[in-house]
Amino acid sequence: MTQFTSHTLDTAPDAAKPIFEGVKAAFGFVPNLQSYMAESPELLAGYTALWDLFSKTTLSAHEQQVVYLTANFENECHYCMAGHTTLARMQKMGEDVIAALRAGSELPDARLEALHRFATLVVRNRGWVADADVDAFLAAGFTRRNVLEVVLGVATKVMSNYTNHITHTPLDAFMKGNEWSKPASA
């Protein structure tokens, strides 16, 4: 198995160091994901930029977590499911919504379920979403802008999910208690 380096501020390539400093300022530490991404400062910069852009979309913080957790589930990313479960709890998302997202089941909130269903289709079908499904998403109260914002959120998670799969990123301490494996029934 190919081993990847978990970089620190001291070992990271020079181009990654300013990004590490920004990540540390935002989170108080450099998460394992970013420590592995630093091997490619361009990947780290791209991920950081997309993360920041997605946070500025018109989707609410809870809606953003629905997109992220849905993509994590569909891409079977253990690291990101644990991390975003923690973040969703920090944002006071309902435990029933979090549990449904982690189980891959229907969400108890109709609007969030419409978002979850749409994001699932975007990931599973690699963007080939039927017009009727786009129309159903819009009928649930979302906008054409939101359609494209979901694409941005999914793209952000592709970068992190795939990196975690390849590098076998270990969970961070802050994720303790939120470990995840895809349910066999899903």
- pLDDT tens, position by position, for the chain (186 residues)? 899 999 999 999 999 999 999 999 988 999 999 999 999 999 999 999 999 999 999 999 999 999 999 999 999 999 999 999 999 999 999 999 999 999 999 999 999 999 999 999 999 999 999 999 999 999 999 999 999 999 999 999 999 999 999 999 999 999 999 999 999 887
Which whole-number Å values give the CA distances from 41 to 14, 18, 34, in the listed order? 8, 10, 10
| Residue among 96, 26, 92 nearest 60 (CA) | 92
Q: Is 42 exposed, middle or buried (0-12, 13-18, 19+ CB in 10 A)?
A: exposed
Q: Indicate where the chain has its CATH 1.20.1290.10 domain(s).
A: 60-185
Residue whose token pair is 């309902």:
94
pLDDT in tens, 17-62: 999 999 999 889 999 999 999 999 999 999 999 999 999 999 999 9
* Continuous segment of H or E residues that includes residue 83: helix 78-90
Contact 145, 56 (CB under 8 A): no
Contact 7, 39 (CB under 8 A): yes
Q: Is 110 exposed, middle or buried (0-12, 13-18, 19+ CB in 10 A)?
A: exposed
Domain 60-185 falls in which CATH fold?
AhpD-like (1.20.1290)
- Which amino acid would we find at residue 164? N
Residue whose token pair is 């300013």:
18
